[in-house]
Amino acid sequence: MTTRLGTAAVIAIALLALACGGGHATTTTLSVVTSTTIVEDLVKQVGGDRVSVTGIVPLRADVHTYRITPSDIDQTLEADLLVIVGGGLSAIEGFLADGAEGPVLELTHDMDLGPFPEALAHADEDAHDEHDDEGEDGHHGHDHGEFDPHFWMDIDLAIHAVEAIRDELARLDPDGADYYRERTGAYVAELREVDAEIREQLAGLPGERRYLVTFHDAFGYFADRYGLTILGFVVESPEEQPSASAITELVESIAELGIRFIFSEPQFSARAIEQIAADTDTTVRAIPSVALAEEYPTYVEFLRAIANGIAE
């Protein structure tokens, strides 16, 4: 919009803003603490200059296993808002939520989450487990129930999260409501474009490239969305130790299907995946699953890094 304004008009508006005592055209009005780096980015995309965002889990670190510090708790206590994934993603989110004095926005709270995927290589095991009453966290190591909390692997769910962030920021800072709405609109349009690009990029992959073997069970939504199949994973949740039987099953299935690429996740040990690669003569590629990093500092770049890792 500013491109259509003349320079003089821009200066006049800037002077007006100064005259009104603001000093800046936009002033920060809310402080928000977030758990994961992806949630941090989503809040920044919506909040822009009106919101200061502090992410608890640093770049490259993993929310499942990160240990919170007393200063993390202090920052959470002082924040106007805490935004977490929820859905039993990790214990540290629970600690943060317990420590928060202000409101807590749990992004998966009213999200239409799906179940964890049926992994092809573990099909027998899954059938066996299905009616096995192991209690709440028997099937998957994340201490949630039956639903997959990795919502950021599905752009529609991410858009739902972005809209929930927009609504909560507008509730806490009504003067910024229009600002948050405009930023959300532009960002959602960008996400839809990225979604279409990834769909096109992955559509042309040959059959044997359409299987995912990963370290942990995080890619169900991504596979569903883009027509890939979860062949299997080494652990259901990163807190677990790799199981020898899961590895044996994967080695057999990989050989049968003629798969050439399998995937490690940068936050986790690649040892088990490398072991499988050595046993199957496949190549290991790293694709991100839970955390942003210097090479992909935004959610959009994170999604592209997954697609490129699979497709290139």
- Interface contacts to Zn ion, rule CB under 5 A: 218
Measured at CB, which residue is nearest to Zn ion?
218
**CB of residue 150 to Zn ion, shortest distance in Å:** 6
**CB of residue 89 to Zn ion, shortest distance in Å:** 7
Output 79 or 306, the one with its CB closest to Zn ion.
306
Output 56 or 218, the one with its CB closest to Zn ion.
218
Q: Which residue has the tokens 């003629």?
A: 258
Output 152 or 187, the one with its CB closest to Zn ion.
152
Quick one: tokens of 292? 């942003």
Nearest to 277 by CA among 302, 297, 256, 260: 260
Nearest to 45 by CA among 186, 253, 143: 186
Output 218 or 292, the one with its CB closest to Zn ion.
218
**Buried b / exposed e along 284-312 (16+ C-beta atoms within 10 A):** eebbbbbbbbeebebbbbbbbbbbeebee
Paired sense of beta strands 211-216 and 104-106, if any = unpaired
Quick one: tokens of 188? 């959602």
**CB of residue 197 to Zn ion, shortest distance in Å:** 25
**CB of residue 216 to Zn ion, shortest distance in Å:** 5
Distance CA 71, CA 64 (A): 19
Output 61 or 218, the one with its CB closest to Zn ion.
218
**CB of residue 90 to Zn ion, shortest distance in Å:** 8
